[in-house]
Every structure is written in C-alpha cells, then in structure tokens.
C-alpha cells in the first residue's frame, strides 16, 4: 500500500516516526541536537518564562484587537465583538465596541457607538463616544457627534451636529448645551 502525503489524511505511523521533528523547545533537544532546558531559552532563566506568560496574560486582558493597516480598505462591514479597532487605512463600516483609534493616515466613514474614540486621522459619519472623545491636532471629525467628555487639541477639527450626552432619555437629549473643553 502506498504512503499518503501527511497533508491529505492520516500519516503512516512507521514513516511518521522516522521523519518526525525533534520535540518542542520546552525540554528535549533543539534542531541541532543540543539539550534544551527552560533556563537555556532565556538568560533570565525560568523567571523569564514567568514574565513571558504574564505578558501573554496581559495581552488577553486587553481583549480582541483589529488593526486595519496602511493601504488597506475595508468596506461595507459591521464590526462586532472587537474591543479595540485601530484604523491606519480606510474603513467604511458600522461598529459597536469599546475603543477606536484612528491614526493620522487613517480614515473611517460610517456609524460608530464606542466607549472611547481617539482620532488622529479623519472620521465622517455618526459617532457616539459614550465616555470620551479625543481629537488630536491632526484629527478631523465631521457628522453627527455625541459624546460624554471631549478633548480637542489645538489644530483638531470638529464640525457637524454636535451634542453632549449619549443617553436616550428625553431630559438629557433636551439639554444639548455646549460643554467643550480646550486641551491644556
């Protein structure tokens, strides 16, 4: 019987054992046959491994993150279950999430309901920043804007229908008094 390719089905046990790679680097040997111990992986020894696992745990606590890189255009989507969206390219979408960060070269067009918005590039559309809207000196925000708190650096632009408060209660929407603060 002919041996199948390992990519398309079960491997033959005899050929698998003869062609197997060395054990993973967490003990055993590396590809050159040198014994590997946790202390030889990192000059800091086993304590260094603990720090690496702590860094991985911290990354998980940060939640899910989507980065739309430069020269990438993402169009006609609904972004959900994303804790942080970083826009370095062009995005045309709707989003309900925690944090949006638009880089200087980034552009977002659409509708966003977010906890914190940090704008260095361009935003056009409906923006609801439940907690805080930060517009940096290079940022330009246009459209229907609602926010809890706002910070605008010198040079930042804000235009359109702007209101303070993000709740849907009639008393809050009736009092759309300006509450702009200048960045110090």
Give the rounded distance of the alpha carbon of 161 from its chain centre: 28
Q: 36 and 88: one domain?
A: no
110 versus 180: the higher-pLDDT residue is 110
Q: 25 and 114: one domain?
A: no
Count of structural domains within the chain:
2
- Residues 116-150: pLDDT tens digits? 999 999 999 999 999 999 999 999 999 999 999 99
Q: 51 and 69: one domain?
A: no
pTM: 0.59
DSSP string for 38-64: HHHHSTTTHHHHHHHHHHHHHHHHT--
- Residue 37's nearest CA partner among 22, 51, 27, 47 is 27
On whether residue 77 sits in a domain, the answer given is: yes
pLDDT greater than 90 at residue 28: no
Domain residue limits at 108: 65-174
Cα separation, 110 vs 123, whole angstroms: 8
């Amino acid at each position: 019987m002919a041996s199948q390719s390992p990519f398309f089905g079960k491997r033959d046990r005899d050929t698998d054992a003869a062609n197997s790679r060395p054990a993973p680097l967490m003990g055993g040997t590396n590809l050159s046959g040198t014994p590997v111990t946790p202390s030889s992986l990192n000059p800091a020894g086993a304590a260094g491994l603990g720090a690496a696992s702590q860094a991985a745990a911290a990354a998980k606590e940060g939640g899910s993150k989507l980065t739309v890189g430069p020269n990438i255009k993402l169009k006609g989507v609904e972004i959900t279950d994303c804790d942080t969206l970083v826009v370095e390219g062009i995005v045309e979408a709707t989003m309900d999430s925690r944090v949006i960060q638009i880089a200087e070269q980034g552009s977002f067009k659409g509708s966003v309901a977010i906890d914190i918005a940090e704008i260095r590039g361009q935003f056009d559309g409906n923006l609801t920043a439940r907690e805080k809207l930060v517009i940096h000196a290079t940022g330009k925000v246009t459209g229907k804007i609602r926010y809890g708190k706002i910070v605008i650096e010198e040079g930042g632009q804000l235009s359109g229908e702007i209101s303070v408060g993000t709740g849907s209660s009639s008393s809050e929407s009736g009092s759309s008094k300006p509450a702009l603060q200048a960045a110090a």
